[in-house]
Amino acid sequence: MILQALHELARRESLIPDPDFEVKPVAWIVRLDAKGKLMGISGTHHEVSDSGTRKKPRFEAKVFEVPIQPKRSGTKAPAYFMVDNAKYVFGLPTPDKQFRHEEGREKSGWFYELVLQCARETGDEGAVAVERFLRAIREGRLKIDLPEEAKSNDLFAFVYAPDGDRFVHEREAVRKFWKAKRAVGGAEGPARICMVTGDEFAGTTFFPSTKKVPGGQTSGATLVSFNSKAFESYGWESKDNAPIAPAVAEACGKALQRLVDLAPPKPSSPEEKLPRLNLTLGGDSIICYWAAKDQGREFESVFQALLGVTDPAIVGNLYRSIWRGIAPPIDDPEAFYVLCLRGAQGRIIVQDWIEGTVAEAVKNLARHFADLDLVRNAPPPKERGHPEGFPLESLTSALAPRGDKRQVPAELSARIVRSAVTGVPYPLSVMQRALLRYRAEIGDEADKTDGWNARNRNDARAALIKAVINRRRRFLTGTKPFKEVTPEMDPGNTDPGYLLGRLMAVIERMQQLALGQDVNATVIDRYFSGASAAPAAVVPRLLKNLRHHAAKAKDDDQRAGMAMWLERQADEILAGIGAFPKHLDLERQGLFVLGYHHQRHWLWLKREEREALEQKARI
């Protein structure tokens, strides 16, 4: 189904308007006069704008239509037609990669033979000029000095000066020669059935490699490959295990390259860009998404902004309610696909494949943000802003030490996406990692330089814990009534884990009232982890500290009222707990964090805001 969906995408967006040609970056243009003499080699590089923090300018080669360049591997890899790298065109090494002279001589010979065949069969002036130029090099009558900036994988193409800027491979006679050669090559071999379209085809197929896949090699990675006997079956060898017509394989490869590209070129006009259809996940994963039909393009265009919570203007009024957990009235039955990928050496690994409809994706994304909805303890500084929801990047970073999302397992990030798009429960491992990181970094919130980031990450961790708990209860209990965790503090929640977390926040606030903010090791630094796992062993000691700090605060007339109010809060919470549990299971440890998070926010609310919450709980 993945290949069929990719093939349909290539057809819908006309990614291969001409199956014998493709769009590739051509770094260098070799200009020849009518007699085949070299007039110069010029680069096509231009500066690319970068939205990141890159200090140095970045330059990329311009993209042009070139004769199709199928994947090649091994020492006997054939030459491409009219456009290739320096090894094949000139037989010369580039500064970044050396090789034996004999190897360059052999491979440039293959390139020359294709040009010679074209020149003889067509008599085309441009092809003849290229043949003369290459023959002069092979006979030692001409020495070429490559540009110092040339790289081993840079492509060189030829321009016949009388044509202006038109490439030789774009001349009509040369194009016809290439198409005829491709047609003859495609007819060789026994007839087989294409596993994507069901049509008969002849010839051999190598699935094209895809570049820019996170974790993959710079030279590209392959979605369909058989480079080991372990991947073969029923006596078939290599590519025969997945028979795909050459044109279909090229279309699927183009669609996949279009999906992973951050700025995919438009085939009919390479200088224009197609809309981006991907999101990065962690350090080595990427999410690709697309609608099956044109009707779903509106949702396709805002999917990244919805999960990324970027500029609200991109999303528009229709879909913006999704961030508030409210699904807009959309009943679009068109198919919507999500493909999670990562690279591993020369292969592309499919982490997840999701099929659904646009309507289902809209509804489930709204449920996703509703489950994540939670009061924030990180104040919104003016210079940072405060996102309306928790973007995917924040959730991924929250599961990593100090927000380094490269340390989050790619499979875990992919499963968060599946839960968001399909509405299934979040994996329990999400809550495990969120709890671990929350406890490990709770003390970092007092840091003067990184405190806001630490609080923001803990907000996201608490939101994930809430989402995991609510969905587990919702799915595992079926229609049985239960009390879900609310976005703000719930005075009516009597779960021991939740109450103990609330008590922890009161104890922390009492210490701050008595000793101030400048404390070497706070009660949270020392006891949060222990209290959330084994309350019976830790909380009694904390209660003694609470009474001691209350007595100290009451000595000051300005703090006495607050101290007595905090004592009453602690007593009310203790009345609902009873005996302290010896240990809390994973879910109740999550509720401990949520109780602490809620109570901590509640303690800093205005009186009328707290009363409104209490009234809401009674209703």
For the chain, the domains span: 2-260, 278-476, 496-618
pLDDT at 473: 87
User: What pLDDT score was predicted for residue 208?
Assistant: 84
Element spanning 177, H or E: helix 172-186
Residues 6+ apart with CB under 8 A from 194: 200, 201, 243, 244, 245, 248
Residue 514: its pLDDT value, please?
86
Nearest to 356 by CA among 306, 292, 406, 404: 292
**Residue spans of alpha helices (H) in 481-534:** 496-515, 523-533
Q: What is the pLDDT of residues 595-606, one digit of tens each?
A: 999 999 988 887
pLDDT, residue 117, reads 96
Tokens of 520: 């070497």
What span, in angstroms and rounded, lies between the C-alpha atoms of 8 and 164?
37
Sign of the Cα pseudo-torsion (551, 578, 492, 476, in order): positive
Q: Distances in Å between the alpha carbon of 302 and those of 264, 299, 392, 540?
A: 17, 5, 14, 52
pTM for this structure? 0.76
Q: Give the torsion through C-alpha atoms of 367, 370, 371, 375, to 10 deg.
A: 170
How far apart CA 168 and CA 33 sit, in angstroms, is 12
Contact 320, 299 (CB under 8 A): no
Longest Cα–Cα distance in the chain: 104
Using alpha carbons only, how large is the chain's radius of gyration in Å?
Answer: 32
Kindly tell me the burial class for residue 598, based on how many C-beta atoms sit within 10 Å of its own C-beta (0-12, 13-18, 19 or more).
buried
User: How far apart are alpha carbons 455 and 189 in whole angstroms?
Assistant: 64
In this predicted structure, what is the pLDDT of residue 51? 47
State how far the Cα of 119 lies from the Cα of 130, in Å rounded to an integer: 8
Task: Dump pLDDT digits (tens) for 139-157.
Answer: 999 999 999 899 999 999 9
d(CA 247, CA 231): 24
Low-confidence ranges of the chain (pLDDT < 70): 49-56, 184-189, 203-204, 227-232, 234-240, 282-283, 309-314, 316, 379-388, 446-450, 477-482, 518, 613-619
